[in-house]
Amino acid sequence: MNLVRRLQPLYALLAGAIHACSFAPWDLPWLQVLALAALFVLSARAPSARSAAVLGFAFGMGWFGVGISWVYVSMHVYGLMPAVLAGAATAAFCAYLAVYPALALGLAHWLFPGMFARLAVGLPALWMISEWLRGTVFTGFPWLASGYAHTDGPLSGWAPTLGMYGITLAAALLAGGLSLLVLRERQRRARRYGWVALVFVVVVGGGWFGRTQSWTAPVGAPISVRLVQANVPQNLKFEPNGIARAFEAHFALMQGPGDKSDADLVALPESIFPVPIQHVPPSYLQAFRDFAQKHQTAVIYGVFLEEPRGQYFNSAVGYAPGDAGMRRYSKRHLVPFGEFIPPGFRWFVDLMKMPIGDQQRGATAQPLALAGQQIAINICYEDLFGAEIIDAWHTAGPAPTLMLNISNLAWFNDSLALPQHLQISRMRVLETQHPMLRATNTGATAIIDASGNVAAQLPYLTAGVLNGRVQGYQGTTPFIRYGNWPALLLAGLLLLAAFLKGRGDR
């Protein structure tokens, strides 16, 4: 028995690794529920809150050790950090993220001694709250949050009402019910079976019903789009001829057949030039302006802006036919260590040799009016934060009709980061029921329709253009109106119910 108990952290580690395999590119939502149920069963057999927390930490190390291993690539291969330090930094980052599931399991064991109250309600609610905290504390890192595994399947129907964190709660409630069945407590069997049946009907049935509900509707005529994926290797961007190489690659691809353009909107990736726009040859910038005027096509691309001197913004710049100036959006949610330097960590960022590693946050989420659409732009990592994406619907002026993500994931090579990021974008579409375009350097360049389906996509790590049509939408989902608050309120009510009832449940 002692040997079995000592091996439980190893079992939790393996369950966490399996949990990571439920996300893209494998897309196995029920595997996520089963892996989480296995963790809940292990925690139920833990003799103390500390032991339960250890299991949660081990689960997290397996989960993030597999799921975000691509962090090492950015630090070592492109950041030029020594392999040992990059490996240690990756492990430390995974350990930090693993603290959150550890807290959920430890607190559940401590707060709810009754097994039914803990597994049926208390632990699922704490799991969701821990995921929300992971996506919030220290600017947040909600990558591979449990709800993202359910972009396909019945639970996705909760996205427009409760958002990704509401789906996280729904999945945890299912996992808690399964764990109660596995444990086979002798007493109150009817109550356990009745609860599991109720949870299944409400969670799964409600999700299926939610998939049939439309909160938004098409508006106007569809527009034609051309999304450019130049596949410029990250290391080549910083060579002496990197600016010229970037311009030539992108400008050649954005041309239509016979020097004509049949696109209403041409979108290029994030930071196509590795320097501020003031250091880009004026002829290159003028070529983009001339293209927009000649073809009566809106053009948008990613570039750094420096204003005032020494203040850098990761931005999207847009030109519309007839415009004398440019329209811009600057990234508001920056990546720690890659785009801004947390206090006391400049030495660490300096080890990675990353240019423009200390940037400023943009001030507004105002959509850009281009090609007859109101486009809510988000840059790379920003689409992890659903509650911030919907800010574009809460600003003065016309509401967005579609979303555009421009990204450069060349930092991560051919890793899990690319399909995982596409899955994250799909969740933003499910929450808002507005389509999203993705223009990326290496992938995934894609058109996602208002139902969250990938209508068209370019292969990863290839140079090409994706031509297609996209329909703008109007209207607001409950998630656009209220964000994460309904899911947090529901989790709080479940915690209260578990606390009031659980003390007498032995």
DSSP code per residue over 164-232? HHHHHHHHHHHHHHHHHHHHT-SS-HHHHHHHHHHHHIIIIIHHHHHTT----EE-S--EEEEEEE---
The DSSP 8-state label assigned to residue 336 in this structure reads: B
For 228, phi and psi rounded to 5 degrees? -100, 130
Per-residue tokens: 209: 């019903």
Q: Which residues contact 156 (CB under 8 A, 6 or more apart)?
A: 150, 167, 207, 210, 211, 430, 452
Please give the Cα distance from 169 to 165 (Å, whole number).
6
Among 270, 339, 382, 431, the one annotated catalytic:
270
Query: Residue 313 in 3-state DSSP?
Result: strand
Report the 10 Å Cβ neighbour count for 489. Answer: 11
Please give the Cα distance from 457 to 80 (Å, whole number).
31
Q: Are 437 and 392 in contact (CB under 8 A)?
A: no
Please give the Cα distance from 34 to 39 (Å, whole number).
9
Please give the Cα distance from 230 to 235 (Å, whole number).
14
Is position 380 annotated as part of the catalytic site?
yes
Is position 94 annotated as part of the catalytic site?
no
Is position 270 annotated as part of the catalytic site?
yes
Among 237, 380, 382, 431, the one annotated catalytic:
380
Q: Which of 295, 284, 224, 181 is nearest to 467 (CA)?
A: 224
Query: Residue 316 in 3-state DSSP?
Result: strand
Among 94, 237, 331, 431, the one annotated catalytic:
331
Going by DSSP bridges, is the β-strand pair 473-474/327-330 parallel, antiparallel, or unpaired?
A: unpaired
The DSSP 8-state label assigned to residue 355 in this structure reads: T
Q: Are 46 and 55 in contact (CB under 8 A)?
A: yes
Give, in degrees to the nearest 5, the angle at Cα 238 between 237 and 240: 110
Instruction: Report the catalytic residues.
Output: 270, 331, 380
